[in-house]
Homo-oligomer: A and B are copies of this chain.
Amino acid sequence: MEIKVLKDILSANDRIAQRNRQLLDSHKIFAVNIMASPGAGKTSLIMETTKRLEGRVKPGVIEGDIASSIDAEAVGKMGVPVVQINTGGECHLDANMISNALGSLPLPEIQVLFIENVGNLVCPAEFALGEHLKVLIVHTPEGDDKPFKYPLMFHAVDAVIINKIDLLPYVKFNLEAYTKTVKSINSQVAIFPLSCTTGQGLDAWVAWLVEMASSLTR
């Protein structure tokens, strides 16, 4: 008897994520899904990165929050195309929310799209959005034990940004040990210690991002 190998049936979310990806690719837009704890610095990173891309790469932003439009307003003031998604209780963005948001953005004017996920180290890691790159921001005040507590998130991402290194003298965070731990969970991950307050380390991150974007969209 011949055994039929059934193809994996993609979940509804994954199918929509795939369509998002096709739409993004057709516009040569490189999409970055940015995840973090609340207050780790997602909006700050997007704003500081956007400043440094000026004249080189045209940015766009999707802001995800349970409620409020504080972040979208801040980004909008910089003259960057932005859409705010309010999930109304959902603790993560999903592909359908992104699909709707893409319909509200001027896609031909965007080359790198930052998607700021809901502040949460758990569920955002499980939902594909159609992005090209998954980035996790951690911040030094949250302590250095998070890789053990949220392993899926650290497995899932392409880069880990360690924000607020300007606070290292005041908090319990061993940067060297942390880097080793993250690499032991995810050996391929790129790690960028930086501070959105002082600017230290931002250039290395932006250079890497531009390189990643150009290699995938050229």
Residues in A lying within 8 Å of B, measured CB to CB:
37-40, 65-68, 70, 89-91, 118-123, 126, 139, 141-143, 145-146, 148-152, 164, 166-167, 170-171
Contact = CB atoms under 8 A, between A and B. Distances in A.
B91 A122 contact: yes
A118 to B, nearest CB: 7
B141 A164 contact: yes
B37 A149 contact: no
A122 B120 CA distance: 8
Contacts of A119: 37, 121, 149-150
Contacts of A143: 39
Instruction: Please classify the interface of chain A as helix (H, G, I), strand (E, B), loop, or mixed, using the class held by over half of its residues.
Output: loop
Given A67-B151, A119-B149, A120-B121, 11 more contacts: A37-B142, A39-B141, A39-B146, A66-B150, A67-B149, A68-B145, A70-B148, A89-B126, A89-B152, A90-B122, A91-B120
Among all A-B residue pairs, the 5 with the closest Cβ atoms: A39-B142, A91-B122, A141-B141, A68-B148, A37-B38
Nearest to A68: B148
Contacts of A152: 66, 89
A130 to B, nearest CB: 22
14 contacts: A37-B39, A38-B121, A38-B146, A38-B149, A39-B143, A65-B149, A67-B150, A68-B148, A70-B145, A70-B148, A119-B150, A141-B141, A141-B167, A166-B170
B91 A91 contact: yes
A123 B38 contact: no
A121 to B, nearest CB: 5
A119 B66 CA distance: 16
Nearest to A164: B141
A91 B148 contact: no
A150 B38 contact: yes
Contacts of A167: 141, 167, 170-171
